[in-house]
Structure 1
Amino acid sequence: MALSSLKPALISRSSLPANPPRKKEVVPSKVSTAQATKAVNALFAHAEKERVKKESTQLLSKDEFVWLVIATKKISPEKRVKPIKIQLPTPLLDPRYTSICLFSKDPQREYKDLLETSSIKFIDRVVGMEKLKGKFKPYEARRQLVNEHGMFLCDERIVTFLPKLLGKYWLDAKKQPIPVCMTRKDLKGELERAVSSTYLHLSQGTCTSVKIALLSSSNSSTSPHTPAQALANLIAAIPHIIANIPGGWSNIQSLNIKTSTSISLPLWTCPLGSGEGGRFENMAGVLLSDDEEETEDVEIGSALKPEEVEKMLKEEKQNRKNEGKKRAASEEKISEEVKEKKIKASPAKKTAAPKTEAPVEVKIVAAPVEVVKKSAVSKKAKPTQVEKKVISSASAGVKGKESVVGKKGGKKGGKK
C-alpha cells in the first residue's frame, strides 16, 4: 500500500495523541512525548513528499522503515552474536503476507514434521545445514534465497556457523537470521514472539540503529504503520533498548529517528558539561588536573626575575639551533652512505652480463664442425658429377684407341 493512505492522518491530527500539556511528559524519565510526537509527524510528512517526487521515476517500490538511532559515549567492549529481542505493540511484519524462512539443524525433515505437528503454518520454508553447504553454496542461489523471503529465523544452536555459510549478502539486505529456541514446549508461541518483535544488534562502535515502524512496503497487501502506531512502538521500545545498552542512560549521547534516506530528527540529547549525565562527565578529573598545572606554571613564572627569564629564553634558542645542526649533519651522513652503496652495487651488475654469452658462442661454433665432417665422408663415399664426367671421358678414350689399333691390323693383314 502506498503512502497516500497516510495523507489524512498527516493533515488531521486525529490519529495522533491529543495536544501535549504545558508540563513535559517524559518517557522513561528522559525523552519528551511532545518532542517524539513532533519528530514522528515531521518524518511521515517528509516521507510522503519524497514518495510523490519518486512516483514518476521509480518503477518498483521498496520496503522503507523508521529507524531509532542510538549514539553512545563509549565503545562497547563486547561483541554479541545474538540480537536482543524487543517486543512491539504493532509488529513490523505480517506473517500472512510476508514469507518467512527457517534455518534448522540436520536432518531437515525432522523439523518440518515438528512444525506440522505444532500446527505452525506461517513458516514457508525450512532449510537445513546440508542444503546451505550444497544447494545454496553458489552466490546466485544465496542471492535468490534472500530476495524470496522477507524474514529469516534460525535455530539458536547453529547461530555461530551461519556467518561463514551465508556471507555478507544477508548483512547488506539487513535480514540477519533471528535465533529461536526450537526445543521449547510452546514452540508456536516462541516463533510468534520472534516474528512480532524488533531486534537490537549491539556493535563495537558508538552508533546502533533499531527498526521501529514500517513506512512503506513493496507488497501491496501489507499496510504500513500510521504515525500513531509508530509513536506507540517508539515509546514502548526505548526503555528496553536503554536497559540493554552497557551503562544505561549515563552512556547515551543522543536519540534520533530517521529513514534510510532522510536526515536525523532529534528526540533527546545529553547536556554538555561535566555534570551528572553530561557529555564530559568522566572528563571532570582530567580538566581539574590541567587547571592545577596551569596555576603551578604561573606561580613559578612570577617568582623569576626578568633577567633570568631572558637568559632562559636565549638558552632555549641556542639549544634549538644546535639540535637543528645535528639533524642536518646526520641527514648528510645518511645520504652519503646511500650514494656509496649505490656506487658499489652498480659495477657488479655490469660484469655479470657477459658471463651468460660465452657458452652460447661455443655451441654455435661446434655445429658447423660436425657438418663439415659429414660432408667429407660423403665425398669419399660417392663421387660428384664432375668426377663422373672425367671417368666416363677417360674410359671412352681408351676404347677409341683400341678400335684404331684393330683397324690398322686388319689392313695390314689384307695386304699380306
Structure 2
Amino acid sequence: MAKTELIDSHISVKQCTRAVHALHAYASKKQKEQEETELLPSNEQYVWLQVTVKRMHPEHKIKPFKIPLKHALIDPRVMPVCLITKDPQREYKDLLESHKIKFISRVVGITKLKGKFKSYEARRMLLKENGMFLADERVIPLLPALLGKKWFDAKKQPIPVCLTRKDLKGELERAIESTYMHQNRGTCTSVKIGLLSHAPEKILDNIKISLPAVVNNIKGNWDNIQSLHIKTNSSISLPIWTCELGAATGGRWDGMVQSKDAPEESTSDEDSDSNDTDMDLEEEVPEVPVSKGKSKGTKKPLAEIVEKPITPKEVKQKRSAEGAEKKKAKIVKGGPAKSAKAALIGKKPGRP
C-alpha cells in the first residue's frame, strides 16, 4: 500500500488538494455572478491560510515574519510598489538608480509623509494608488502613528527591508516575492498564500512552500497548532488539518491540566448549598401576635403579614388620599374656606 504524501510530515496532500479545488471553484463561481450584476470590477481576492493556535502569543510584534512563496502575489509591472525611506529622500532615489532598480514606482521620505501626506485624503490616495509598501526597517516603529489604521485595515502594512545591504536589488526582489505573517496576541492568524486568479495547482505549490516557514515562526510549532484552514476574503473556511481532540501528545488538551483544587471547591460549595437548603426547610416560620378588631392575641404566620412591594400607581393613590384627608381636616378645623380674593389680600370675608 502506497504511503500518504504529507506536507511537513503532518498535512495530507490529498486532503489539501481537495480543499483547494473546492474553494477555487466556489469562489470563482461567486465572483462571476457578482461581476454580472455590478458595473465596476471587484478587487482581486486573496486565498488565505488561517492558523489557529492553542495558546495565545504573549506579545504583539510590529515587524512581520517573511514567508517564501513559489508564485508571487505582487507583479510590479502591474501593481505599483512604494518605498518609504529615511531623510533625505533624494539620497535613496539616487541609490536605486545606481543599482538600476526600476520596479519601485515611488519613494516617499518621512518628512514628506508628515507634510504632503499629512491630511487624511492625501494618505487615502497614497494607499489606493499603490499595491504594496516597503519601508526602511529603521523607520518601521514610526509608521503606525504616521499612516493610521487604514493601512492595517487594508492589510497593506509596510514591509521592512534593509537598504544598507550590498545586494539591494536582491533584497527588494525577495521582499516583493514573499508573503508575510503578522503575529498578534489572539489565537487566530491569517497569511496570504495565493490569488483567486491563480490556478489551483499554483495555490497548492505555495502552500507546500510556505507552510513549514509559518509553523517554524509559531511559538511551540506543531504542538501549539490546533487547526489549519483555507479561505478567501468573503468565503467560508475549509479545513485542511486539525489536531486530535484528546489529552495525548499533540492533542487539543495536551499540557493543559485542570487544577486539583477546583473539584474540591465545587463539591464543598455544593455541600454548603445543600446544607443551607436543608436548614431552610427545617426552620419553621415564626408566628407573631396580631391584634385585629376586638380579638387580641390571635397569631398569624410571619409569611402572611409581610408587606408586598408597592407599585408607583399605589404610591400616587395613597398620597392623593392623604392629601384629601388633610385638606378636609383643615377645613373642619378652621371653619369656612376663604375666598380666592380674600386669600390673596390676607383678609377674612365680610370685613371692609
Same fold (TM over 0.5): yes
Letter in 2 for 1:282: G
User: 1:76 Cα shift?
Assistant: 0.2
Letter in 2 for 1:258: K
Change over 3 Å in CA distance of 1:242–1:320 after alignment to 2: farther
Could you tell me whether the CA contact under 8 Å between 2:35 and 2:42 is conserved in 1? Answer: no
What residue is the counterpart of 2:119 in the other structure?
Answer: 138
Structure-1 separation of matches of 2:121 and 2:75: 27
Select which of 26, 45, 54 maps to 2:34: 54
What residue is the counterpart of 1:110 in the other structure?
Answer: 91
Letter in 2 for 1:41: H
Select which of 52, 74, 82 maps to 1:71: 52
What residue is the counterpart of 1:35 in the other structure?
Answer: 15
Change over 3 Å in CA distance of 1:162–1:292 after alignment to 2: closer
Select which of 132, 136, 144 maps to 1:163: 144
User: 1:55 Cα shift?
Assistant: 1.9
Residue 246 (structure 1) aligned with residue 246 (structure 2): no
Structure-1 separation of matches of 2:76 and 2:243: 39
Structure-2 separation of matches of 1:26 and 1:229: 17
Residue 178 (structure 1) aligned with residue 159 (structure 2): yes
Structure-2 separation of matches of 1:211 and 1:51: 19
Change over 3 Å in CA distance of 1:321–1:97 after alignment to 2: farther
What residue is the counterpart of 2:61 in the other structure?
Answer: 80
Partner SS state of residue 157, structure 1:
coil
Residue 26 (structure 1) aligned with residue 11 (structure 2): no
Select which of 152, 174, 186 maps to 1:193: 174
Could you tell me whether the CA contact under 8 Å between 2:74 and 2:176 is conserved in 1? Answer: yes
User: 1:317 Cα shift?
Assistant: 3.1
What residue is the counterpart of 2:258 in the other structure?
Answer: 286
Letter in 1 for 2:32: V
Select which of 41, 44, 50 maps to 2:24: 44
**Percent of aligned positions that are identical:** 55
Partner SS state of residue 195, structure 1:
helix
Structure-2 separation of matches of 1:238 and 1:320: 64
What residue is the counterpart of 1:225 in the other structure?
Answer: 198
User: 1:316 Cα shift?
Assistant: 5.7
User: 1:318 Cα shift?
Assistant: 2.6
Structure-1 separation of matches of 2:56 and 2:263: 30
What residue is the counterpart of 1:359 in the other structure?
Answer: none
Could you tell me whether the CA contact under 8 Å between 2:228 and 2:241 is conserved in 1? Answer: yes
Select which of 176, 190, 206 maps to 2:187: 206
Could you tell me whether the CA contact under 8 Å between 2:19 and 2:239 is conserved in 1? Answer: yes
Unaligned runs of 5+ in 1: 1-20, 216-223, 298-308, 323-416
- Kindly provide the CA deviation profile for residues 203-261 of structure 1, in whole angstroms up to 9, marking residues without a partner as x: 0000000000111xxxxxxxx31111110000111111000000100100000000011
Change over 3 Å in CA distance of 1:319–1:163 after alignment to 2: same
Letter in 1 for 2:149: K
- TM (norm. structure 2) is 0.75
Structure-2 separation of matches of 1:97 and 1:228: 22
User: 1:52 Cα shift?
Assistant: 2.2
Select which of 249, 267, 270 maps to 2:243: 270
What residue is the counterpart of 1:404 in the other structure?
Answer: none
Structure-2 separation of matches of 1:320 and 1:73: 47
Aligned residue pair count: 279
Structure-2 separation of matches of 1:36 and 1:66: 13
Change over 3 Å in CA distance of 1:314–1:226 after alignment to 2: closer
Partner SS state of residue 110, structure 1:
helix
What residue is the counterpart of 1:373 in the other structure?
Answer: none
What residue is the counterpart of 1:362 in the other structure?
Answer: none
- Kindly provide the CA deviation profile for residues 2-38 of structure 1, in whole angstroms up to 9, marking residues without a partner as x: xxxxxxxxxxxxxxxxxxx853211111100001100
Change over 3 Å in CA distance of 1:314–1:211 after alignment to 2: closer
Letter in 2 for 1:33: V
4+ runs deviating over 6 angstroms: 312-315, 319-322
Structure-2 separation of matches of 1:247 and 1:146: 36
Could you tell me whether the CA contact under 8 Å between 2:35 and 2:41 is conserved in 1? Answer: no
What residue is the counterpart of 1:349 in the other structure?
Answer: none
Structure-1 separation of matches of 2:279 and 2:74: 75
Task: Please identify the structure whose Cα radius of gyration is greater.
Answer: 1
Residue 237 (structure 1) aligned with residue 218 (structure 2): no
Structure-2 separation of matches of 1:257 and 1:174: 17
Letter in 1 for 2:189: T
